[in-house]
Homo-oligomer: A and B are copies of this chain.
Amino acid sequence: VATRDVHLEQVDRLTGLLARVSRESSAVIRQASRALLAADRDAAAAVLAGQAGRDELHREIDEVVPVLLARRQPVASDLRLVIGAIRMNADMLRMSRLACHIARIARSRYPACAVPPAALEVIAAMADTAARLADKASLVLATRDPIDALQMGLDDDEMDALETQLFILLTDGWPHGVEAAVDVAMLGRFYERIADHAVGVARRVVYLVRGQPIAGP
């Protein structure tokens, strides 16, 4: 019984750590977007300063996983939680690293805004969609409701549409020069990747609940 308690305690710890990481990755994406869209240097600095702590949290999860698997053989949903945790942890770490890339671009153009007027609307919409997807991933992780996860597909479709829009902007008489174009193309890519990782987290929650892996990475 005592060992079983220790096991439950570890599972709870893992669940708690994942929830915390998901909230932090969601928050840091919003912070990076504020740094970018409002040319807010303090926000950019805060994003970058916080990464060491997020890396540490990531390592903590990676260390809990083998302990859980080795000490007690988890079964059914606990086993799926542990397997899912490895991938979700990697997804969420990437999300916060991508937020750092966004903050670095913001910082590199300060006091100007890295996003020139022609692209502001599209990039702001991408930032918003990415943040919404990150929030939903965090919610899905808390509720474990597959319906919430499936609804994320709509936001993801929106991100694809915005990517196409951005691509057209950049290839059809872009007026702001090469440097700004490269910045904006990269920003678009970073937001698209954040969205993809958020969807990945939600997918793994569905796997947790249903016990069946679903298509996709």
A residues in contact (CB < 8 Å) with B: 58-59, 62-63, 65-66, 69-70, 73, 75, 79-80, 83, 86-87, 90, 93-94, 97, 170-171, 174, 177-179, 181-182, 185-186, 189, 213, 217
Which residue from chain B places its CB closest to the CB of A190 in the assembled complex? B189
A179–B213 Cα gap in the complex (Å)?
39
Q: Which residues of B contact A70 (CB under 8 A)?
A: 75, 79
A106 to chain B, nearest CB (A): 17
Chain A contact residues: over half helix, strand or loop, or mixed?
A: helix
A66–B79 Cα gap in the complex (Å)?
8
Which residue from chain B places its CB closest to the CB of A179 in the assembled complex? B171
A83 to chain B, nearest CB (A): 6
A88–B79 Cα gap in the complex (Å)?
19
A152 to chain B, nearest CB (A): 19
Is there an interface contact between A66 and B83, defined as CB atoms closer than 8 Å? yes
**A182 partner, pick from B75, B86, B87, B170, beta carbons under 8 A:** B170
Is there an interface contact between B171 and A213, defined as CB atoms closer than 8 Å? no
A86–B84 Cα gap in the complex (Å)?
9
Is there an interface contact between B62 and A213, defined as CB atoms closer than 8 Å? yes
A184–B182 Cα gap in the complex (Å)?
9
A116–B48 Cα gap in the complex (Å)?
34
A13 to chain B, nearest CB (A): 17
A76 to chain B, nearest CB (A): 8
A80 to chain B, nearest CB (A): 7
A40–B128 Cα gap in the complex (Å)?
39
Is there an interface contact between A59 and B213, defined as CB atoms closer than 8 Å? yes
A181–B179 Cα gap in the complex (Å)?
9
Q: Which residues of B contact A69 (CB under 8 A)?
A: 69, 73, 79, 83
Is there an interface contact between B90 and A65, defined as CB atoms closer than 8 Å? no
A4–B58 Cα gap in the complex (Å)?
34
Task: Name the 3 nearest CB pairs between A and B, nearest first.
Answer: A73-B73, A182-B185, A178-B181
Q: Which residues of B contact A185 (CB under 8 A)?
A: 182, 185-186
A15 to chain B, nearest CB (A): 18
